[in-house]
Chains A and B, each alone.
Chain A
């Protein structure tokens, strides 16, 4: 187990370095250098001032020195200052938004598991039935559904036609401070229904399909046949023997699907006006706020990597075959 952990940790470090290198090289893709949005089209910026900026951001040094300096900054969570008017440190901007994005994604992940596991297992047990067909149809629609369109339709139905739910923001702006805790929770919930539905529906397709197919395969395997031959009741076969084998790899799938789930945040946060890192990323791209873009890209992929790492370890803890194989 220790060799396995060490091995995985080593790959984690190498991958992390790779992420920083790619993030860093993207900064230098900009045709006029990373400073161009600050200096271009701005008559107030004299060549002297530009020089000063270049010095300040260390752009006159060789690339590898710049990279090392950038790395040093990252370790201290210092991503520089935003190019926007407020010029706040990038980390301060991200810090207040990251919990929101993580909270919504965690919630939708729980919902995804809560729905996809029972639906998938039931479909597999009743393979070929109408129920199974309907879940298959839902799965494919989930794959093909543009999430921003789903968001617009929800807004149209619940926000405009029925006037049931608010269509923007995380909580009410008027009178929010006077609400009691319970009212606040209720207010949040009302605002989160639509975004959560969008996040969950899109993410569920992959899980549902996986659970269904994996359970289906396991139910056909020899050891299940053996259990049946022994005369075990169907319930024991499914819940005790089949599910354990079918659902274990779900831990890995969980890790692998993290980038897709978090990527979805850009879309639903932008549409529903939720102040998370997804919306920040979009705003930064529109304003060409490079320090924010880079920090966001790096942090989100770092979190994804971490999630993957934890999933791998969790899987190894749960399934002895994995840790023995890697020896």
Chain B
């Protein structure tokens, strides 16, 4: 772990994305202390003010400070994506190791299930499920997590399959280790590098999906700020308030880019087969 971190810091792009993510985490953690205004405070005298010294990113249709709302929104985005990715790793690791270790019929069933899930365009599936539930932060966390585990499941399955016949597993079995102990203690740690890579990529994707859902009006509901739902107002006030569209979108782009590049860098570092430049 430590070595990976050291390598990451040496890597220019990896280091840059790590910095961006750290800034984001700090903003999210200390939002109440950092944001200059109350993100929920409505002020009719300050409607749609362009960026100025007082309001660096302008104000919105209700006179709220956009910078403060965006800082609070980073909380929501990180929260949603972390929990969603946590869920998808949980399901993916569970089903993947089951399929990979047990093989046979169990593997057949789980693999078919993965294929079926992959046929649904994610956004259609999420929309269909959300239609039945009240849109809330918890709902979208669960729904995003429950529809994005297939990649990790495949990965873990393949990894465990390739390892389960090796000598060290055999020795563990001879010493009387149980199935779960073998999977968790001996097999899964080997699958950790690819899981880390897809977790990082997954965080970016989850943020992208959350903001799209919020933009479509079925994700995070106002007045709770999210980068996606600030953009709804941006679209409404397209002709008069460019700042309402530009800044939240830029925040999404930079954040997703950082997670994606971090994932890419991790892949480069962790994959011994790949030659380094």
- Complex A-B: 19 CB contacts under 8 Å: A22-B120, A140-B264, A143-B257, A144-B257, A146-B211, A146-B228, A149-B248, A152-B234, A152-B245, A156-B245, A159-B238, A160-B238, A260-B121, A263-B121, A266-B123, A266-B124, A285-B131, A290-B131, A301-B119
- The answer to the question of A4 belonging to the interface, with a C-beta cut-off of 8 Å to chain B, is no
Are B212 and A148 in contact, with the CB atoms below 8 A?
Answer: yes
Contacts of B121 in A (CB 8 A): 259-260, 262-263, 300-301, 304
A180-202 vs B, Cβ < 8 Å mask (1 yes, 0 no) = 00000000000000000000000
- Decide if B11 is an interface residue (CB 8 Å cutoff): no
Asked if residues B204 and A144 are in contact (CB atoms below 8 Å), the reply is yes
Tell whether, in the assembled complex, residue B256 and residue A19 are in contact, meaning their CB atoms are under 8 Å apart: no
- Residue contact A144 to B128, C-beta cutoff 8 Å: no
Counting from the closest, the 7 A-B pairs by CB-CB distance are A149-B249, A263-B121, A18-B116, A144-B256, A259-B121, A263-B123, A144-B257
Does B80 interact with chain A (Cβ within 8 Å)?
Answer: no
Query: Chain B, 119-163, contact with A by CB distance < 8 Å: what is the 0/1 string?
Result: 111111101111111000000000000000000000000000000
Query: B239 in the interface, Cβ–Cβ < 8 Å?
Result: yes
**A259 vs B150: C-alpha distance in the bound complex, in angstroms?**
14
Q: Is the CB of A149 within 8 A of B253?
A: yes
CB pair B120 A146 closer than 8 Å: no
Grouping DSSP codes into helix (H, G, I), strand (E, B) and loop, the A interface class, with mixed when no group exceeds half, is helix
Do residues B231 and A160 form an inter-chain contact, with CB atoms below 8 A?
A: no
Question: When A and B form their complex, what is the total count of cross-chain residue pairs whose Cβ atoms lie within 8 Å?
Answer: 144
Interface membership of chain A positions 1-44, coded 1 if the CB is closer than 8 angstroms to chain B and 0 otherwise = 00000000001001100110011001001110000000000000
Task: Give the distance in Å from the alpha carbon of A109 to the alpha carbon of B235 in the complex.
Answer: 27
**One of A74-82, A291-299, A314-322 contacting the partner:** A291-299
Contact residues of B between 231 and 250, Cβ < 8 Å to A: 231, 234-235, 238-239, 242, 245-246, 248-249
**Separation of A227 and B156 alpha carbons in the complex (Å):** 39
- Which A65-91 residues have a C-beta within 8 angstroms of B? none
Q: How far is the CA of A149 from the CA of B211 in the complex (A)?
A: 10
- Would you list which residues of chain A between 277 and 291 have a CB under 8 Å from chain B? 281-282, 284-286, 288, 290
Indicate which residue in B115, B127, B231, B253 contacts A281 across the interface (CB closer than 8 Å): B127
B181 interface residue (CB < 8 Å to A): no
Task: Please give, as numbers and ranges, the residues of chain A lying within 8 Å of B125 by CB-CB distance.
Answer: 297
* Cβ contacts under 8 Å, A30 to chain B: 132
Query: Restricting to B246-277, which residues have a CB under 8 Å from any CB of A?
Result: 246, 248-249, 252-253, 256-257, 260-261, 264, 277
